[in-house]
Amino acid sequence: MEDCKLKSLLGDVVNPKLTLKNAVYLCSLLSVLAFLFFVNFYRPKLNLGTYNSDHLPDFSFEDVEISQLVDGKLKWQLRSEYAEIMKKDDHAKLKTATGKIYDDGKEVINFKSGFATVHLQNSKMSLNKATAQFLMNDDNIELSAETLTWDPKKKQFIGHDNIRLKSKLATLYGDYFYVNVPFKILKVNSNSRAEVYTDYDKKN
């Protein structure tokens, strides 16, 4: 009988289940209060710069290849690590591009560019910080320029600014250059100059 009274007395003084429940409730209450305090007093710094969705591309691609075929014949081929297309501007922009131009099924020009633009309707290509190589039967010619443009309708490759055209026989410099495909006319002008190699220069 005394044991029953003792257990009843201890149960009134210490109830483990009741103590644990109160502790959980107290922790939850403190967490809610801390969150409300944080939300009420913390003001994050927001970058409220202008955002214009018109500048976002309609499509973007990685490791992309673009080609033009006319009557089943490959006219040019362009590869890029990244490309984006703007439908309203009707062009594609490509980064770190390499490409080839063909004539009658044969590769005649290859090129590299840090940044390229392809107009989707007329297939014109604009290349920035570009280098190119003209594949000729007896002597390949290397070209570098600030900008290069390929006009498929005229079959003409045009360069602007800081032109450097190098072959086995000479190096030509200028600010404007163009060549027709097939290779019939090659012209450099506007502040142009030439360095012609002698036999001694070519051997050394």
For 19-47, the pLDDT digits (tens) are 655 655 666 666 656 655 544 554 444 44
**Domain ranges across the chain:** 2-41, 53-203
Top CATH class of 53-203 equals: mainly beta
Residues 131 and 117: beta-carbon distance below 8 Å: no
168-186: pLDDT as tens digits? 888 889 888 888 888 766 7
Peptide bond into 182 cis (omega under 30): yes
- For the entire predicted model, the pTM comes to 0.64
Q: Are 157 and 149 in contact (CB under 8 A)?
A: yes
Contact at 8 Å (CB) between 134 and 118? no
Give the pairing type, strands 186-189 and 156-166: unpaired
| Predicted local confidence at residue 26, as pLDDT | 63
Q: CA–CA separation, 168 vs 140, rounded Å?
A: 8
Closest to 177 (Cα-Cα) out of 196, 149, 136: 149
Nearest C-alpha neighbor of 99 from the set 48, 148, 39: 148
Residues 153, 187 contacting (CB under 8 angstroms): no
For residue 2, pLDDT over 50 is answered with no
Confidence of residue 189 (pLDDT cuts 50, 70, 90): confident
